[in-house]
Amino acid sequence: MSFLHVYHEADGEQPILSTHEGERIAAELAAHGVLFDRCEPHPELVPDADQESVLAAYAEEIERFKREGGFLVADVIGLRPDHPDKASLRQEFLDEHRYSEDEMHVFVRGGCLFYLHLDQRVYVIGCAAGDLISVPADTPHWFDMGPEPNFTAIRLFAASEAQAARMTGSDIASRFPRYEAFSGEQAA
């Protein structure tokens, strides 16, 4: 189940807004140039479908996103709970960072959390299968796949290849609840 919790950047304990309503999530994020929408899942995909199968199943949607959003490249990322490097891969994205180009994520299976740091607020977005989120270039954010990651997502980039994250140097991510705190709300 998708959700949104909005916190003041100085208080990672008490949200000032909480909702599970897709339209409200989309409206709150759109005010900051962030697209949140639904993309019909493809039930014919097996849980461990390879990149080629996922890209083929979503080919029509990917072409539309490229055309409408100016994205150039699509790839597939995903982790399962038995991945030997899951802890280090999780840690890689837990600090606030930025990318120099727009990025979009379409969740095919499972879910993760995006944290967006916008206008003295932190927006915690629980993304589940069928959700898509497009984060504008230079938006400070972090990503939490949880201690037992179990997701597949299509990533789209406006550059010809994925760019390296630029760390902000802020410790803000350490002051906000991790994936585990929201596990009751997150539908895999």
- Residue 148, in any domain of the structure: yes
- Residue 105, in any domain of the structure: yes
Domain of residue 154 covers 3-161
Q: Is 97 annotated as a binding residue?
A: yes
Q: Give the domain CATH number at 120.
A: 2.60.120.10
Helices (H), 38-114: 51-57, 59-69, 86-92
- Residue 186, in any domain of the structure: no
pTM listed for this prediction: 0.93
Q: Is 92 annotated as a binding residue?
A: no
Q: Is 83 annotated as a binding residue?
A: no
Q: How far apart are CA 56 and CA 48, in angstroms?
A: 14
pLDDT digits (tens, 9 = 90+) for 1-27: 899 999 999 999 999 999 999 999 999
- Residue 53, in any domain of the structure: yes
Q: What are phi and psi of 117, to 5 degrees?
A: -105, 100
- Residue 74, in any domain of the structure: yes
Name the domain count of the chain.
1
pLDDT digits (tens, 9 = 90+) for 24-78: 999 999 999 999 999 988 888 888 899 999 999 999 999 999 999 999 999 999 9
